[in-house]
């Protein structure tokens, strides 16, 4: 088996750090986006359909976020609607949608970091796996467990380079 010293995993460790930072940034952006969506639904700054046009979610999911908020956002229509239909101020709506656009951009940038880093991590995993490093060792340097590393390596359709142990002929 080839040596698996710390230096050989530097690129994999750096890629993993980038990936995990992307996941953390995505979660932070997701929480901020959800809070803004709920705040604008409560304030009746824009219709759920308009909010959906400026976020990565559809109208149904926007409604679900409102229903799952604490306390829930009252519906606009139906038997449980509270009060008359709201009148939307175009200036307030534009400001709300601009904020949602900003938060959506941050969310998509974090998603992009993850999507760009994932294939690089997979390539490094396959490279080390083919060199004889086991999934258990690789899992220490990646965001994946040993089972998923094995799946990645097998799906690459590369044969693992197995070296003979001394004295076994």
Q: What is the pLDDT of residue 166?
A: 59
Question: Residue 18 contacts by C-beta under 8 Å, 6 or more apart in sequence?
Answer: 113, 117
Q: What is the pLDDT of residue 1?
A: 47
Contact between residue 58 and residue 52 where contact means Cβ atoms under 8 Å apart: yes
Q: Alpha-carbon distance 104 to 92, whole Å?
A: 18
Q: Alpha-carbon distance 130 to 134, whole Å?
A: 9
Tens of each residue's pLDDT in the chain, 169 residues:
445 455 589 999 999 999 999 999 999 999 999 999 999 999 999 999 999 999 999 999 999 999 999 999 988 888 888 878 889 999 999 999 999 999 999 999 999 999 999 999 999 999 998 888 889 999 999 999 999 998 998 888 655 545 445 555 5
| Nearest one of 88, 100, 111, 110 to 53, comparing CA atoms | 100
Q: What is the pLDDT of residue 19?
A: 97
Q: What is the pLDDT of residue 164?
A: 47
Q: What is the pLDDT of residue 158?
A: 54
């Amino acid at each position: 088996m080839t040596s698996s010293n710390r230096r050989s995993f530097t690129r994999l460790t750096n890629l993993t750090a980038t990936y995990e930072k992307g996941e953390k940034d995505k979660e932070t952006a997701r929480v901020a986006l959800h809070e803004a969506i709920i705040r604008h639904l409560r304030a009746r700054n824009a219709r759920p359909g308009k909010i959906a046009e400026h976020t990565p979610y559809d109208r149904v999911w926007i409604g679900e976020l409102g229903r799952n908020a604490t306390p829930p956002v009252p519906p606009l229509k139906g038997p449980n609607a509270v009060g008359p239909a709201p009148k939307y101020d175009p200036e307030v709506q534009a400001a709300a949608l601009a904020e949602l656009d900003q938060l959506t951009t941050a969310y998509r940038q974090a998603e992009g970091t993850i999507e760009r880093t994932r294939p690089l991590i997979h390539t490094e995993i396959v490279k080390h796996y083919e060199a004889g490093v086991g999934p258990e060792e690789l899992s220490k340097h990646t965001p994946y467990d040993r089972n998923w590393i094995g799946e990645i390596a097998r799906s690459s359709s590369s044969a693992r380079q197995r070296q003979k142990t001394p004295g076994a002929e």
